[in-house]
Amino acid sequence: MHNLARQTRTLLPVPSSHLEPRTVPSSTVHGRFCDICRKQRIYYNRGVRDLPPLSRDQEVATYNTITRSWSPAVFLRSADEPRNAVRQLAPAS
């Protein structure tokens, strides 16, 4: 009986049917979630533009995730997989 000191949010009477829990089908939840993600993707990618293509023997920088450092490299050609490239690392000086 420790809840007697709490104030109710409203003094209006509430029908007992509003106090019973209801489950929502998972397909409805998933569909709503997909709609929200789709809208967010539209707003996030609103100002996206393609980068200019790289040309052969163009100097680029490559990021090494293990050492967390950038190193110079030379672009040779695009690879078979998207967003990948064949490059030659510059010799360490």
**Could you tell me the residue ranges of all domains in the chain?**
59-89
Pull the structure tokens for residue 87: 């490059």
Provide the pLDDT for residue 93: 57
pLDDT in tens, 2-12: 566 677 788 88
Inter-CA distances, 87 with 25, 36, 46, 64, Å: 51, 39, 31, 13
The mean pLDDT value of the chain amounts to 87
SS3 of residue 1 by DSSP: coil
SS3 of residue 4 by DSSP: helix
